């Protein structure tokens, strides 16, 4: 671990890598940083609001808490399986989709991922703008612009600063949440709320879906933040470090949201930030809580913006044929991404809650099939044996377009349509199921099964072992077969 610390201390503050492979000499960090990063990313106001939705939209406290926990565990397991890919491959998450979709074909799910990041950044910016507006006694719109400026700075600085902010945010978040829980318990009869139990499948599964969608939405970029770990880092330990941080942080935040909404007597919707801060008090205490809310959103909003940058760079590099991105290009990408999210936040800040609920549920239709395909391919078909240099070559092993992966992905999206229930679209089978949205379950299981069966028969040739780029001045090279060595040298 001392070696890792020395490596990290010699690295510049501004990250110079982007979507390219991270050489072993530049690997650093500890598993605990994965835990703190994802706990800090989840101990924040948007997670509180997500938990509150389970009650605001008709559920009781007892069954909402259980449903949210089940959703966290299911979605968190999917998210953590993606996290475990980072140290092994040394690559950001979405570029590995070229194995399943082709070098050009991977742009299809990546474009949709960019839209997800854009939406999450915008909705988070709305809440942060409210907090900064109260903190500095300015309008919410000015607060949104202040927050956007901070996100641009942190995203441009990159990986090391993001992890440092994650550690600080986790400490601030724990302190703020302990205080808020104490205040809530002193003002609310929690026992009485837990005694109200009116089980409803639709409300219960809504709670499960809210938590599962929250966790699954991290899947497309979770490996971006584990890819600098040494390649010999245990996949199992990475799984539990990232998964536990995300599940514990999100569940704690959502529990607070459930109790806050249940005790609000209709005062929560439309006043999310001010109501939560009002639980803690006024004056200096309120100012500190507004600051903690804004700082907590810095972590997750930076993750979204950084992930957006990675996705745009991945799309462009696929058609250009190389993986390098200059610092100027990085700055331009980040400014475009955050600027678009800020514009959406400014235009949509007054209709946040209902739009957010529909947004996060509708996202599942596009990301669960991708997640299913990526995980089945990585763990069951190729079994971690990727040809990393070929990911940059449209004429290489993975080709331009992989019709198998693309076809199963389209099938996975379409098969969910009858079961989706959002303001954007409601499927024909939703009413027959008691208005229960089970699309995310369908979108995980069916594409996974179909891809597994089809890939077993028609998958392209898989390397004998993982093939990594040749590293200059490397002490230890990965062992490969003769064919692997030839491919690595190509």
Q: What is the DSSP letter of 400?
A: S
Neighbours of 472 (CB within 10 A): 7
| Conformational region of residue 29, where left means phi above 0, alpha means psi within -120 to 50, and beta covers everything else | left
- pLDDT recorded at residue 458: 83
- Is pLDDT of 465 > 80? yes
Distance of alpha carbon 258 from alpha carbon 269, whole angstroms: 12
The verdict on residue 207 lying in a domain is yes
* pLDDT band, residue 266 (cuts 50/70/90): low
- Is pLDDT of 477 > 60? no
CA distances from 239 to 81, 85, 167 (A): 6, 9, 18
The distance of Cα 116 from the centroid of its chain, to the nearest Å, equals: 9
The verdict on residue 231 lying in a domain is yes
Residue 37: closest CA among 255, 264, 245: 245
- Over residues 331-347, the mean pLDDT reads 85
What's the chain's average pLDDT? 83
- Is pLDDT of 476 > 50? no
Higher pLDDT, 446 or 480: 446
Distance of alpha carbon 288 from alpha carbon 179, whole angstroms: 11
User: Buried b vs exposed e over 272-300: b needs ≥16 C-beta within 10 Å?
Assistant: bbbbbbbbbeeeeebebbbebbbbbbbbb
The verdict on residue 435 lying in a domain is no
The predicted-structure confidence for 166-215, as pLDDT tens digits, reads as follows 888 888 888 888 888 888 888 888 888 888 888 888 889 889 988 998 89
- Over residues 455-473, the mean pLDDT reads 80
- Is pLDDT of 429 > 70? yes
List of residues 6+ apart from 83 with CB closer than 8 A: 34, 222, 223, 225, 226, 238, 239, 241, 242, 243
The verdict on residue 392 lying in a domain is no
List of residues 6+ apart from 220 with CB closer than 8 A: 82, 93, 94, 109, 113, 116, 307, 311, 367, 370, 371
Total number of domains constituting the chain: 1
- pLDDT recorded at residue 370: 94
| Conformational region of residue 91, where left means phi above 0, alpha means psi within -120 to 50, and beta covers everything else | beta
Distance of alpha carbon 379 from alpha carbon 434, whole angstroms: 36
Which tokens is 22 given?
Answer: 């991270």
Instruction: Write the CATH number for 16.
Output: 1.10.4160.10
The verdict on residue 457 lying in a domain is no
List of residues 6+ apart from 303 with CB closer than 8 A: 41, 162, 221, 225
The predicted-structure confidence for 49-81, as pLDDT tens digits, reads as follows 889 889 888 888 999 999 999 999 999 999 999
- pLDDT recorded at residue 377: 95
Q: What is the DSSP letter of 340?
A: H
- pLDDT recorded at residue 360: 59
CA angle 456, 393, 92 (to 5 degrees): 75
The verdict on residue 450 lying in a domain is no
- Is pLDDT of 261 > 70? yes
In which domain, by residue range, is 303 found? Answer: 2-363
Query: 3-state SS of 175-240?
Result: HHHHHHHHHHHHHCCHHHHHHCCCCCHHHHHHHHHHHHHHHHCCCCCHHHHCCCCCCCCCHHHHHH
- Is pLDDT of 1 > 80? no
- Phi/psi for 128 (5° steps) reads -65, -35
The predicted-structure confidence for 7-32, as pLDDT tens digits, reads as follows 444 566 677 777 788 888 888 888 99
Distance of alpha carbon 8 from alpha carbon 112, whole angstroms: 33
The predicted-structure confidence for 204-259, as pLDDT tens digits, reads as follows 988 998 899 889 888 888 998 899 899 999 999 999 999 999 999 999 999 988 99
The verdict on residue 354 lying in a domain is yes
Q: Please tell me the total number of residues recorded for the chain in this structure.
A: 490
Distance of alpha carbon 366 from alpha carbon 153, whole angstroms: 30
pTM of the model as a whole? 0.84
Residues forming a β-bridge with 467: 387
The verdict on residue 92 lying in a domain is yes
Distance of alpha carbon 130 from alpha carbon 273, whole angstroms: 7
- Over residues 316-345, the mean pLDDT reads 79
């Amino acid at each position: 671990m001392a070696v890792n610390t020395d490596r990290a201390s010699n690295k510049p503050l501004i990250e110079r890598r982007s979507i390219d492979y991270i050489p072993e000499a530049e690997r650093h960090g500890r598993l605990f940083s994965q835990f703190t990063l994802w706990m800090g990313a989840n101990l924040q106001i948007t997670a509180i609001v997500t938990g509150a939705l389970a009650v605001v939209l008709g559920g009781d406290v007892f069954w909402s808490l259980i449903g949210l926990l089940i959703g966290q565990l299911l979605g968190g397991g999917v998210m953590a399986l993606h996290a475990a890919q980072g140290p092994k491959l040394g690559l950001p998450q979405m570029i590995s989709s070229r194995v399943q979709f082709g070098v050009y074909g991977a742009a299809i799910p990546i474009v949709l991922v960019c839209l997800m990041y854009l939406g999450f950044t915008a909705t988070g910016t709305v809440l942060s703008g409210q907090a900064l507006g109260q903190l500095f006694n300015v309008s919410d719109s000015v607060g949104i612009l202040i927050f956007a400026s901070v996100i641009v700075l942190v995203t441009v600085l990159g990986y090391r600063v993001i992890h440092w902010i994650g550690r600080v945010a986790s400490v601030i978040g724990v302190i703020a949440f302990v205080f808020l829980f104490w205040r809530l318990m002193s003002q609310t009869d929690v026992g009485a709320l837990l005694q109200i139990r009116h089980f409803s499948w639709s409300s219960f599964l809504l709670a499960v879906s809210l938590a599962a969608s929250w966790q699954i939405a991290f899947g497309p970029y979770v490996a971006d933040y584990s890819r600098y770990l040494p390649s010999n880092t245990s996949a199992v330990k990475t799984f539990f470090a990232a998964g536990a941080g995300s599940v514990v942080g999100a569940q704690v935040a959502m529990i607070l949201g459930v109790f806050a909404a249940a005790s609000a007597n209709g005062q929560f919707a439309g006043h999310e930030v001010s109501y939560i801060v009002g639980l803690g008090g006024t004056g200096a205490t309120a100012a500190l809580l507004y600051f903690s809310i804004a700082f907590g959103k810095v972590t997750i909003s930076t993750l979204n913006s950084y992930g957006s940058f990675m996705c745009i760079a991945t799309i462009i590099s696929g058609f250009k044929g190389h993986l390098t991105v200059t610092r100027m290009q990085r700055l331009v990408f980040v400014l475009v991404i955050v600027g678009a999210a800020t514009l959406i936040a400014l235009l949509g800040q007054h209709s946040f809650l209902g739009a957010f609920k529909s947004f996060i549920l509708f996202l599942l239709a596009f990301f669960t099939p991708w997640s299913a395909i990526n995980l089945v391919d990585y763990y069951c078909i190729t079994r971690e044996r990727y040809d990393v240099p070929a990911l940059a070559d449209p004429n290489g092993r993975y080709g331009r377009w992989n019709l198998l992966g693309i076809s199963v992905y389209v099938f996975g999206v379409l098969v969910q349509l009858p079961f989706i229930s959002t303001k954007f679209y409601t499927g024909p089978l939703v009413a027959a199921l008691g208005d229960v949205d089970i699309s995310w379950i369908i979108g995980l299981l069916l594409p996974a099964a179909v891809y597994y069966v089809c890939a077993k028969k028609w998958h392209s040739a898989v390397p004998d072992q993982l093939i990594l780029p040749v590293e200059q001045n490397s002490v230890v090279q990965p062992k490969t077969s003769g064919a692997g060595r030839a491919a690595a040298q190509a």
